[in-house]
Amino acid sequence: MNKIKAKIKFKPNSFEVLEEGDHVLCAVSKKVIPLKDLAYWNVDLQEAYFSPAEVKIRYDQINKKVDK
């Protein structure tokens, strides 16, 4: 890994690399996600997630705000 953070545009079924790099950071856990392993993201929020666990955390955070 070159340790260069990529800038990504997330699309519904893919993503576009806007600035070259080899990883992104999880929006929830801040874990490094190699681009070759990137599988979870939110198009509306333009966020990447390390795993389904982080997806659930963000989902719960968003829905908690809506309920208030």
Residue 1 lies in a domain: no
For 51, counting Cβ atoms within 10 Å of its Cβ (0-12 exposed, 13-18 middle, 19+ buried), the class is middle
What is this structure's pTM?
A: 0.88
Q: Domain residues for 57?
A: 7-67
Number of domains in the chain: 1
Q: What is the pLDDT of residue 67?
A: 57
Model pLDDT, residue 39: 98
11 versus 1: the higher-pLDDT residue is 11
- Please compute the mean of the pLDDT values over residues 4-17 and round it to a whole number: 97
For the stretch 28-59, pLDDT in tens is 999 999 999 999 999 999 999 999 999 999 99
DSSP per-residue codes, 2-61: ---B-EEEE-SS-EEEEE--SEEE-TTT--EEEGGG--EEETTTTEEESSHHHHHHHHHH
pLDDT at 56: 97
- Does 2 map to a domain? no
